[in-house]
Amino acid sequence: MHVLGIETSCDETAAAVVDGDGRVLSAPLTDQVAEHAPYGGVVPEVAARAHLARLGGLVGRALDEAGLTPDRLDGVAATAGPGLIGGVMVGSMMAKGIAAAAGIAYLAVNHLEGHALTVRLTDGVDFPYLLLLISGGHCQLLVVDGVGRYRRLATTIDDAVGEALDKSARLLGLGYPGGPAIERAAAAARDPGRFALPRPMVGRSEPHFSFSGLKAAVRRAVAGLPPGPMDPSDQADLAAAVQVAVADCLVDRTARAMSAAAAAQPQIRCLVAAGGVAANRMIRDRLDGLAGARGWTCTVPPPALCGDNAVMIAWAGVERLRLGQADPLDFAPRPRWPLDPDAPPATGAGVKA
């Protein structure tokens, strides 16, 4: 089995070919950091145009590196949501065209499911497990019972953790993307405890997240510094304070969800972290410590597969093809696509629920 994966949901343009044994035969990817850096964040129209300009060449390169032609594929999988709808449409239309021309299966993949299933490719993790999904657009805790079978335990009621890191980095003058910039700056901190930042939602019984208050506190901390260019020591100490506050929130909320998941399904003893923020070394170490203290295992994909990539989309396609699943060519891309559409809304979350 060979599946071509296409990922265009945000600011990475990527294609990959993965086989049924989990071998990655090719995985070319280009980012758009240079295009979006002047704006301090992703501009949807700019992202969509960059995908349109680059995707055809990347798909051709992925097939060439894998030594395959479209007619030798078993399926083509593309992110069909959630994400920036312009980019999602670019990838979906490319995949549909290839599937129609080659007479192969088309698989409309939920981007979040790609993240959720990556550890089955990299580490062979068995169902069920508890997933902490942390990225620029999402912050959720879900029980993963199988392909397409997800039960959400918690979500953010306002901002995603990656968004909070990006905005904090912008306030600190660290540039874009914010998560890696915060981590680099924090490494030079002399006093990570110098700035007192809040830990929103920590201690509450329900495991939901909130990060808008943390962003506001960072803004106030920056405003309280001497005017003019920020001193590098202030920058490093505040970056470290942000990173520790985020880690504290994630660990506390995840611990609550672990208790709830184990109470309902005692066989769950594996914590999985996925998404771009899971590439942060401190957060990975803190989650590993949490799991170890409770007798659980903690599994996180390699950093290169934590962020958006086409390998995870191709692998999700492999998982679905094994179950005999495929999608019609009139499947409509969508900007929002929850993994658990039946999850009750979190109080105060609005559409982010």
pLDDT recorded at residue 350: 62
Range 23-47 average pLDDT: 90
Task: Inform me whether the pLDDT recorded for 123 exceeds 80.
Answer: yes
Residues 18-30 have pLDDT tens digits of 999 999 999 999 9
The pLDDT confidence band at residue 117, using thresholds 50, 70 and 90, is very high
Q: What is the C-alpha to C-alpha distance for residues 163 and 139, in angstroms, rounded to an integer?
A: 10
Domains, the chain: 2-117+307-352 (3.30.420.40), 126-300 (3.30.420.40)
- In the chain, pLDDT over 90 holds for what percent of residues? 92
Q: For residues 10 and 33, what is the distance between their CA atoms, to the nearest angstrom?
A: 11
* Predicted confidence (pLDDT) per residue in 150-160, tens digit: 999 999 999 99
What pLDDT, in 10s, does the model give residues 77-102? 999 999 999 999 999 999 999 999 99
Given this model, what pLDDT does residue 38 score? 85
Q: How many CA atoms lie within 13 A of 254 on its CB side?
A: 29
Residue 198 pLDDT more than 70?
Answer: yes
Bridge-based pairing state of the strands 129-134 and 270-274: parallel
Beta bridge partners of 76: 4, 106
Q: Given this model, what pLDDT does residue 310 score?
A: 98
Is the link from the previous residue into 229 a cis peptide, with omega within 30 of 0? no
